[in-house]
Structure 1
Amino acid sequence: MFRNMSEEHRHRLYEIIIVSLLALSIFLMGRFFFLGDLRKWAFLLIYLYSGREILYRAFMGIVRRSYMDENFLMALATITAFFLGEYFEAVAVIIFYSFGELFEDMATAKSREEIASLVDLVPETASVILPDGSIEERDIYDVEVGDILLVCEGEKVGVDGEVLEGKAMVDASSITGESLGQIVGADDEVLSSSIVSEGIIKIRATKDYDSSYAAKIIELIEDSASSKSKSERFVSRFARVYTPIVVGLAILIAVIPPAFMDKPLNFSLFRAATFLVLSCPCALVLSVPLSFIAGLGQASREGILIKGSEFFEKLDKADTLLLDKTGTITTGDFKIGNIEIYEGFDREKVLNYLVALESMSSHIIGKAIVRELDRKIRSDIFKSYENILGSGMVGVTYGGTEVKVGSPAFVGAKSGNKSVFISIGGRIAGEVLIEDEIRTNVSETIGRLKERFKNIAIVSGDQKENVGKIAEKLGIGKFYSEVKPHEKLAIMRKTKADAKALVFVGDGINDGPVLKNSDVGISMGETSSDIAIDASDVLITGKDFSKLATLFDITRLTNRTVRQNITFILAVKILILILGLMGYASMWLSIFGDVGVSIISILWAMRILKK
């Protein structure tokens, strides 16, 4: 933790060490030499200097009438100890508390560094090529869709776009986690934040900055601490109820023994001060949120972005997992296996119809067909067209002929193959066999996920035979096939009714409603649509499916750490509180019970970043 310490933290550490040595020197000198009032005034100056922030926060809490917190308890306890002549003890409490706050600040900064490291993803400006060929440096927010950008070696891509000219090695590891660069050329897509490590390319902006992939990631990062977990809300409520009770008990400890048990007032006041120091809920207030911040930081380091700490607990509770297939389990990079043109149809005419109609589709298979066939797209064939969500495309030629491209059911074909069919004038004209492949590490990852999920199922719009084959390969016993978007949502809701919590993993536009309505929605990969990213609670960047298992490992570790810290803190507090009520707890034991426990719980939370 002390490695790469910031200048501010280093300065605070030196300050605390110097003040500690000064206080210890005065304490030792007072043991051997008579210092009189000099000792009291020296300790007072050290106390006021070291405790200035705590005293200020306690004072402002009183002014705002929201003073029942750890600062008020700490101030009340140390001021009482000081007036009782326990100068060194009062100063020691403040100094140890300062050490605890320093540890907490350093730990928080370390965790937030892991999250913030992803925020500096895009450049502030972009080089825009104007119509006359000149280059203008333009603010990244002013780049518009259709602008032509020049990106040179060593520069970052500012917005999502497609390559127009040039060839380059592009490194997208900062956002996708892919360690190896990729070579891009004409018509290839490049994501904002990618670094051109070799070469020069011209790209056409396909999105403005706010809609680009990196901007979506940054938005997720900035919102990641906005939602609190149940544990954090419990700590906040606990502190509000706990503090008045503690103050009331301290008053009783101070008043009852002198009034009814013939005990000296100073003795009772010191016990009350000791009780107040011990009772400070600092360890809980610091360690629980810090554990979640560390979890968010570790996840970010792995390329997993979580919108808020509340999802750690939901993920830990989940017992049902639904997986989209295309683009999630499979790569989504479709290939054409075989093209069959039926008897009575002209091959060139059928392929021209196919490419022209699929070029107007936003579906990943349609795009793959256009890319793989690599034919000139004719704009003089169709006078109208319509995208039938979940089924295919239908168009009407200038001659009035209806053409359909899509699933067997949509065009009226009967086939078990994974094919896209085309019908012309109501007759099946041909079929294109489409092949995709399972992502790397999927089988191994599913094996790991089976250890923690009671139910795992695939939900896909693909044909039954294709989904069944993949489910069988992965050892998943349940699957839903040929599912339309509204049916996918209905399946999720029905499954969710019987689950403790349901997690859905998808990436497509049609997954948006399911991602939004599941207990935790996870969008997968840089191919995730904007709708999927916005609707999801967790975004896994890159193409590595094993990050899904990593997410649940981090979730389990974070939640276990929170539970362990809460149990440890409350156990120590209760034990020493009982000793304090019986008169056996010294001020030093109270200091350990507060600051010592805080430091231990902070360090325990920070181990999340080392796992």
Structure 2
Amino acid sequence: MGNEQTLDRLEAKTYRVQGLTCTNCAAKFEQNVKSLPGVKEAKVNFGAAKLTVWGEATIDELEQAGAFEQLTIREERERTVQREPFWKRKENRNVFASVALLLFGVAADAADKGMLAVAMYLAAIVIGGYSLFWTGLRNLVSWQFDMKTLMTIAILGATAIGEWQEGAVVVILFAISEALERYSMENARRSIASLMEMAPVEAIIRRGPEEMTVPVEDVRVGDVMIVKPGGKIALDGIVISGASTVNEAAITGESLPVEKTVGDAVFAGTLNGEGFLEVEVTKRADETTLAKMIDLVEEAQAERAPMQAFVDRFARYYTPFVIVTALLIALVPPLVMGGEWLDWIYRGLAVLVIGCPCALVISTPVAIVTAIGNAARRGVLIKGGVYLEQIGRLRAVALDKTGTLTEGKPAVTNVVVYEGTREQLLAIAAAIEKRSQHPLASAIIRKAEEEGAPFLDASVDAFQSLTGKGVKAAVGNETYYIGSPALFTSLIGKLPDEAEKQISAFRDEGKTVMAVGTTDRLLGLIAAADQLRPSAPETVAALRRLGVAEVVMVTGDHEQTAQAIGRQAGVSDIRAGLLPEQKLSAIRELKQRCGITAMVGDGVNDAPALAAADIGVAMGGAGTDAALETADVVLMADDLRQLPYTVHLGRRTLAVIRQNIAVALGLKVLALVAAVPGWLTLWLAVFADMGATLLVTFNSMRLLRVKE
């Protein structure tokens, strides 16, 4: 506890790390940094390739701590330096030199120049493997048995028994596979790197009369930012002047541009269209929605999935077992059965090489990193491997109604006219409702605008709200009332039979009915309802196709409305009229009956139900910090179709992890079986081990292509 308090007082500094390719290397780098004199604590995030340091350390000291893997360290917010092309890098040039020397050695062998061939093979081993030997020998001295230690023992053993050519081939294959592994891990992390590049490093700010270009770190909340047509928006803010369309794909994954005008929120990293905007900055550079997304995704990539924890535990016991097996194979047959020493030592070395758990250890993290990165680019934040695994096993989904299955704002669905024209009825209703604050008022005004009813010029006097019943006002020379049918029953007595039937039919459909009239007659009825999202039925159908057994609607709304929406959406069960604690009970019952359950809501209400579900999914996270903080999965766009994509991604990730583990272990078992009768050569052992690692990595990278 005391240590945690000490760390809280120290400032944490975060750096980006280039060159991290294996979880063992990450753990070793972390230990090296912790042992630096000014460092109190250090934490390496392998997935996001980040290092957090509590205490004092220079970049040179940190790079020295990572020298065993030639790691490069840079400041967290510093843009990625364009590295040399993959094939021109120094570590890869050594591989080409080794291959050339090996080929010269083979040619010398063919020409019966034995000493020259041995010299060439030895040179190939030294040039291609000097950094490997340096690390391997240091590990051997401190009894750390990782891949490099095992490879060093194997290569030195091969040269000791006169297998020069084999030793050279093993070194080269190992160096090639390391280079390919670096390349593939860089690709897997590119999803987040591309998110980081979305936001500009500078912004045009107007302070007083002058405009200036300043680094985004120097922009203050309240500054006015100028966004030119076609320019990227540098910081989050509110539009105070101008109108435009903005492509928000970087945040929400939605490629269609969104209309923006005065009062609308805009986000850093999004692309302005044809209009000129002035934006009041509301968040500093490190607090923008994009910055939060990147931080959350990188934290998620560091979270260990349950399957990864199992694999890591397995690998801890597996490596010593392999070393003991290799020793027994090398020693027992010559000692007990009079076998040939060189022959059995060679087989023991082959077992040592094939036994390295590299592919197994990387099988889960590389899949998790790739999947979470892909999801973030499509506007879905998954806050850790544990949630990704749970989504992959999802059996039931509970959907909130208002704002999730529906649009969240009422719209006029029917206008019934008993006297006068439809245009007159809408004009009178909209003219009066323009002065009202009721949620249904805006629906009537929108309908009047759509149909071109002339309500703006109407003179409205003596407006009065009739609490709980409706409103009344004088339009022209007559007083009109708008409100519940009960208001008109009290005004004019029993309503006409035709009107009663119509009101009853609308209510059965889950609609809210407003009557319009005067003190002595009913002019018409206006029905409104919260509209079902057009994407809701296809989303429910897609979830069923993905194997989700139950798709349930839970809502606090009354039964009739819920039944109407639920039937249109095609959900399997409708739970209406629920209080927050009853929603909680519904989620618990669903978990007990079906298994892993997700709750989908707006991230602000339904907090207990979101927390009770195995996975809390918040919709429309781009606008709410609360959703970003509280939910396990955030659909940044207000788009329900991101839900089936997320479930599909979870299912595919689980499948890929299982395939990876099967490949990693399957190849090991095959090779170990082949080693005992002597069919497995050293270079084949390296080929099998590295082949497994690369297969696992490239298989995981298929997750970058998951779209729907």
One-letter code of the match for 1:293?
Answer: V
One-letter code of the match for 1:123?
Answer: P
| Contact map agreement 1:50 1:95 (CA 8 A) in 2 | yes
Match of 1:113 in 2: 190
One-letter code of the match for 2:194?
Answer: S
Whole-angstrom distance in 1 between the partners of 2:385 and 2:168: 36
Match of 1:549 in 2: 644
Match of 1:391 in 2: none
Match of 1:234 in 2: 310
From 560, 566, 569, the counterpart of 1:474: 569
By how many angstroms is 1:489 displaced? 3.3
Match of 2:109 in 1: 30
Match of 1:362 in 2: none
Question: Measured at CA, do residues 250 and 508 of structure 1 come closer, stay the same or move farther in structure 2, by a change above 3 Å?
Answer: closer
By how many angstroms is 1:223 displaced? 1.8
Match of 1:411 in 2: none
| Contact map agreement 1:318 1:453 (CA 8 A) in 2 | yes
Larger Rg: 2
By how many angstroms is 1:237 displaced? 1.9
TM-score (norm 2): 0.69
Aligned residue for 1:583, secondary structure, equals coil
By how many angstroms is 1:457 displaced? 0.8
Match of 2:290 in 1: 214
Per chain length, whose mean CA-contact separation is higher, i.e. which structure has more relative contact order (CA < 8 Å, sep 6+)? 1
Whole-angstrom distance in 1 between the partners of 2:394 and 2:355: 35
From 609, 625, 631, the counterpart of 1:514: 609
| Contact map agreement 1:333 1:368 (CA 8 A) in 2 | no
Question: Measured at CA, do residues 117 and 351 of structure 1 come closer, stay the same or move farther in structure 2, by a change above 3 Å?
Answer: same
Match of 2:559 in 1: 464
Aligned residue for 1:183, secondary structure, equals strand
Whole-angstrom distance in 1 between the partners of 2:303 and 2:513: 44
Structure 1 gap ranges (5+): 341-346, 359-364, 376-404, 409-413, 422-430
| Contact map agreement 2:603 2:617 (CA 8 A) in 1 | no
Question: Measured at CA, do residues 201 and 325 of structure 1 come closer, stay the same or move farther in structure 2, by a change above 3 Å?
Answer: same
- Deviation string, structure 1 residues 483-520 (Cα, Å, up to 9, x no partner): 34444334323432334211122223114443344222
| Contact map agreement 2:621 2:628 (CA 8 A) in 1 | no
Name which of structure 1's ranges 326-335 and 550-559 shifts more when overlaid on structure 2.
326-335
Matched, 1:149 2:262: no
Question: Measured at CA, do residues 476 and 605 of structure 1 come closer, stay the same or move farther in structure 2, by a change above 3 Å?
Answer: same
From 161, 168, 174, the counterpart of 1:91: 168
Query: CA-atom RMSD, angstroms?
Result: 3.6
From 249, 254, 261, the counterpart of 2:325: 249
By how many angstroms is 1:366 displaced? 9.5
By how many angstroms is 1:62 displaced? 4.1
- Deviation string, structure 1 residues 77-122 (Cα, Å, up to 9, x no partner): 1211121111121221221122222222222222211232122333
Matched, 1:20 2:99: yes
By how many angstroms is 1:270 displaced? 0.9
By how many angstroms is 1:546 displaced? 2.2
Matches within 5 A, 1:258-269: 258-269=334-345
By how many angstroms is 1:47 displaced? 1.6
By how many angstroms is 1:528 displaced? 5.2
| Contact map agreement 1:507 1:529 (CA 8 A) in 2 | no
Whole-angstrom distance in 2 between the partners of 1:226 and 1:517: 24
Whole-angstrom distance in 2 between the partners of 1:150 and 1:508: 32
- Deviation string, structure 1 residues 312-350 (Cα, Å, up to 9, x no partner): 22111121111122332223354466999xxxxxx9999
By how many angstroms is 1:246 displaced? 1.0
Aligned residue for 1:150, secondary structure, equals strand
By how many angstroms is 1:185 displaced? 2.0
TM-score (norm 1): 0.80
Question: Measured at CA, do residues 269 and 370 of structure 1 come closer, stay the same or move farther in structure 2, by a change above 3 Å?
Answer: farther
From 308, 314, 322, the counterpart of 2:398: 322
| Contact map agreement 1:513 1:535 (CA 8 A) in 2 | no
Match of 2:597 in 1: 502
One-letter code of the match for 1:47?
Answer: I
Matched, 1:74 2:169: no
Matched, 1:58 2:136: yes
From 254, 259, 270, the counterpart of 1:194: 270
Matched, 1:294 2:294: no
Match of 1:427 in 2: none
Name which of structure 1's ranges 269-278 and 453-462 shifts more when overlaid on structure 2.
453-462
- Deviation string, structure 1 residues 39-90 (Cα, Å, up to 9, x no partner): 334323322322233333334434655x122222222212111211111212
By how many angstroms is 1:248 displaced? 1.0
Question: Measured at CA, do residues 57 and 465 of structure 1 come closer, stay the same or move farther in structure 2, by a change above 3 Å?
Answer: farther
Question: Measured at CA, do residues 63 and 311 of structure 1 come closer, stay the same or move farther in structure 2, by a change above 3 Å?
Answer: farther
Whole-angstrom distance in 2 between the partners of 1:577 and 1:78: 18
Whole-angstrom distance in 1 between the partners of 2:330 and 2:226: 75
Aligned residue for 2:268, secondary structure, equals coil
Aligned residue for 2:158, secondary structure, equals helix
One-letter code of the match for 2:641?
Answer: S
Whole-angstrom distance in 2 between the partners of 1:25 and 1:601: 33
Whole-angstrom distance in 1 between the partners of 2:145 and 2:442: 63
| Contact map agreement 2:166 2:683 (CA 8 A) in 1 | yes
One-letter code of the match for 2:108?
Answer: M
Match of 1:42 in 2: 120
Give the number of aligned pairs.
548
Match of 2:349 in 1: 273
Structure 2 gap ranges (5+): 1-81, 417-428, 450-455, 457-482, 487-503, 515-524
- Deviation string, structure 1 residues 207-252 (Cα, Å, up to 9, x no partner): 5555543233222222231112223223322222111111111111
By how many angstroms is 1:420 displaced? 11
Whole-angstrom distance in 1 between the partners of 2:203 and 2:441: 29
Name which of structure 1's ranges 481-490 and 280-289 shifts more when overlaid on structure 2.
481-490
